Amino acid sequence: MMSVSAAVDVLFLSFNCAKALIDVPVFAGHVENVFHTRATELPEIVVFSLQEIAPLSYAFIGGSFLNSYIHRFESALNLAAEQFSSPSQSSSSANDQQSQQKQTYSRIRFKNVGYTAIALFARESGRVHHVREAEVGFGAAEMGNKGAVGLRLEYHGEGGETTLTFVATHLAAMEWNLSKRNDNWASIMRCMTFGDPAQIKTGESDGDEQGLLLADETTLQDISIFNPASHLFVGGDLNYRISAESPAPGAAFPSMDADSEDYYPKFFERDQLTQERRAGRTMHGLTEEKVTFAPTYKYDVEDDGSEPVKWKFAAHRYPSWTDRILYLDLPPWVKAAGKKMHVRAYDSLPVLRTSDHRPVYLRVDVPLVGAAEMRAPEGVAEGKDDPRLRMPVEIDSGAWERREAAKRKEVMLGWSTLLWSTREGAVVVGTFLMATMGAYWFFFRA
């Protein structure tokens, strides 16, 4: 049996924020409940995958414009940890707790690609080393209105070390866009790298050209999401639905009533993600725990301020399990040594007033398996279903250069949107016009 010291306790939570600020005490209360689920201690690593984190102008400009959004998640996380550790304080006001809050979790890294962001927190920051970033946009002109952002880190625990890779993503929307969602995933595999693939020069040698080609392929795989020495987690608003068409009037919808003939588990048979994954068209090699929670989208929420939130499924969208978290299971040679991924929980949070999506989370004990043990032993044949042994696609050597160009477009679009469609922009434009008119009057009319 695997000892506790030989694993790292990871919580990966995904939430489509609907471009709105969260209610810190409410979100903290839900996260505290997650902490109590099949656990008596806080997770060591917490990762948030956040989609539609803020309005377009803020998301595309980034930087300090996102501070208030990520700060609320950080505050909620630490408030939840404080309430978990000190339940006697649960009767005091949330505002008092926030003001006196202990920082149980340190923010290690926050990064966004347009609307999509990832945030990494740790209880002991000194155990996290060599954090690297990767990103790809697959919106218009490869900008980040849809995209993916990833973090890779080395975790040094008491019982060993291991490498962890987390990918936060938001794939193409709409029922009929199934093939585009699969294409988005292919873009993640090809273009999202933790290093510039253009700097890996293939085949430039007067000597053993075949050996150099193989070495370059290995290096390219090492910077991909499928690094053979790393664990991999992918979570976000994957947008896979239960139908390729919008519902007709009177269509049967999933019910929350266990006695109903339309009880929601029945509808999971139509889940596009499960079908496409099993057919080898998306999420290559990844595993998902059994889905027992209700559809996570799309909710019409009543804004009457009551708790729990009153809601119903939106009539113009089939309720679907759009929000998911998957992972790359341990390779067979590691399992043969008696190690395994121990999933504590895979579930959704309650409906929140600020979004039409439910958050989902995965809590898992990840074995501290070193690089040498994770890599395939010599003589192991390539497996068509294991992307650690054979990449499903070729790495795009021009991806980094195109991403840099897309980021410049994002900033330009972000600033133009801010200036012409927000209150802050109106103030800036108005001030500029008044200053211009004043200068004109002073120099030409005085």
Pairing of strands 45-51, 116-122: antiparallel
Q: Residue 357 has which token pair?
A: 């999506």
Backbone angles phi, psi at 105, to 5 degrees: -110, 135
**CB of 151 within 8 A of CB of 165?**
yes
Q: What pLDDT sits at residue 1?
A: 41
Burial class (CB in 10 A: 0-12, 13-18, 19+), 46: buried
The residues spanned by each domain of the chain are: 7-88+101-407
* Enclosing H/E stretch for 153: strand 147-157
For 170-198, b/e burial (b = at least 16 CB within 10 A) is: bbbeebebbebbbebbbbbbbbbbbbebe
Q: Given this model, what pLDDT does residue 146 score?
A: 96
What does DSSP assign to residue 44?
S
Report the chain (446 residues): mean pLDDT per 10 consecutive residues: 70 98 98 97 98 96 96 98 82 56 92 98 98 96 95 96 99 97 98 93 51 66 96 99 95 95 97 98 98 98 83 95 98 93 98 97 98 88 77 93 93 86 53 47 55
Contact between 360 and 296 under an 8 Å Cβ cutoff? The reply is yes
Predicted local confidence at residue 430, as pLDDT: 45
CB–CB of 144/184 below 8 Å? no
- pLDDT of 183 reads 98
Burial letters for 252-266: b for 16+ Cβ neighbours within 10 Å, e otherwise?
ebbbeeeeeeeebee
Q: What is the rounded (10 degree) CA torsion for 288, 44, 32, 29? A: -90
Other beta carbons within 10 Å of 119: 24
Q: Is residue 384 reached through a cis peptide bond, with omega within 30 degrees of 0 on the bond before it?
A: no
| pLDDT value for 212 | 42
Which of 153-156's residues contact partners 24+ apart within 8 Å by CB, and which partners? 153/108, 153/120, 153/128, 153/129, 154/128, 154/129, 154/130, 155/8, 155/44, 155/45, 155/127, 155/128, 155/129, 155/368, 156/127, 156/128, 156/129
7-88+101-407 architecture in CATH?
4-Layer Sandwich (3.60)
